[in-house]
Amino acid sequence: MSGPDRLHAFDAAIALAPQGEGVWQGETSAAYGNMIGPFGGVTAAQALNAVLRHPHRLGVPIALTVNFAAAIADGAFLVLVRPARTNRSTQHWIVEMRQGERTVLTATAVTALRRDTWGATEVAMPQVPPAHEVPPPTRHGRVEWINRYDMRFIHGALPPAWDGAEGHGSRTLLWVRDNPPRPLDFASLTATADVFFPRIWRRRATMTPIGTVSITIYFHADEAQLQATADGYLLGQAEAQAFRNGFFDQTAQLWNQAGELLATSHQVVYYKE
């Protein structure tokens, strides 16, 4: 159904209508629906989009932290964004998302003008087969947003059975891109950084209820690298470091097919038991 004239589902999902300086209205997207409320990656992208679309924005995203303060109800929300500090080459943003009078999300972002400097990548892309040699999952996603991504698991897919078996590691490695393909930008890179299913389901095959509490994304890519990446696959890797008394963490990396590290990401996630 998707033709060249039709807006990509992701662009429709993160669209914002201006309501005055620093105030935007957005809406949850059924195309990115999760078990309860929307896929957090798209919500994070909406928060970033309010910064990206601000007329006074300086430079490109360097860091974004999104705190999911409450379940987001299907429907409209407001995004309030303000530049708390603007320097010569960096800018600091505070973002809040509200439904009615209540805050459902808080976020901070840093944007900056980048300059050419010495550089190095320390975490090399794992050696993996190319994306076209890795089959997509045969099962249809049981939540809608899963179907908006083309995911090809190389290592650490969902457990074959929910039998409570406890493994030793939580690592997942997959090729992923928007489905249908869409040229990568900062908003979609943000959403893709949250594409990994909960590490606790991988570590211990028990479908305990979970919810991301806070996610941070560091953008190593500039606009030229995103453009060069185009609609190619990203290699995503995610792993937990600790599960303790109701919260676990996740660290993640995203490389493009040329082996460039585009973003690193971290999150802390509530789990029930």
The answer to whether 69 and 100 have CB atoms below 8 angstroms apart is no
67 vs 152, beta carbon nearer a copy of itself = 67
Supply the minimum distance, in Å, between the C-beta of residue 119 and a copy of itself: 5
Report how far apart, in Å, the C-alpha atoms of 130 and of each of 151, 181, 252, 262, 265 are: 13, 17, 20, 18, 23
13 vs 240, beta carbon nearer a copy of itself = 240
49 vs 265, beta carbon nearer a copy of itself = 265
Supply the minimum distance, in Å, between the C-beta of residue 41 and a copy of itself: 18
Supply the minimum distance, in Å, between the C-beta of residue 98 and a copy of itself: 10
53 vs 266, beta carbon nearer a copy of itself = 266
Which contacts (CB < 8 Å, 24+ apart) does range 165-171 have?
165/204, 165/205, 166/203, 166/204, 166/205, 167/202, 167/203, 167/204, 167/205, 169/203, 169/239, 170/199, 170/200, 170/202, 170/203, 170/238, 170/239, 170/240, 171/202, 171/237, 171/238, 171/239
- The gap between the terminal CA atoms of the chain, to the nearest Å, is 42
63 vs 134, beta carbon nearer a copy of itself = 63
Identify the three-state secondary structure at position 130.
coil
Supply the minimum distance, in Å, between the C-beta of residue 33 and a copy of itself: 22
174 vs 238, beta carbon nearer a copy of itself = 238
147 vs 216, beta carbon nearer a copy of itself = 216
Supply the minimum distance, in Å, between the C-beta of residue 93 and a copy of itself: 8
Q: What are phi and psi of 219, to 5 degrees?
A: -95, 115
DSSP state of 126: P
Binding site for a copy of itself (CB under 8 A): 62-63, 65, 67, 69-70, 84-85, 87, 90, 92, 94, 96, 102-104, 106-108, 110, 112, 114-123, 166, 169-170, 203-204, 213-214, 216, 218, 220-222, 239-247, 249, 251, 253, 261, 264, 266, 268, 270-273
Identify the three-state secondary structure at position 225.
helix
Burial of 264 per CB tally in 10 Å (0-12, 13-18, 19+): middle
The answer to whether 193 and 66 have CB atoms below 8 angstroms apart is no
Supply the minimum distance, in Å, between the C-beta of residue 207 and a copy of itself: 13
Supply the minimum distance, in Å, between the C-beta of residue 217 and a copy of itself: 10
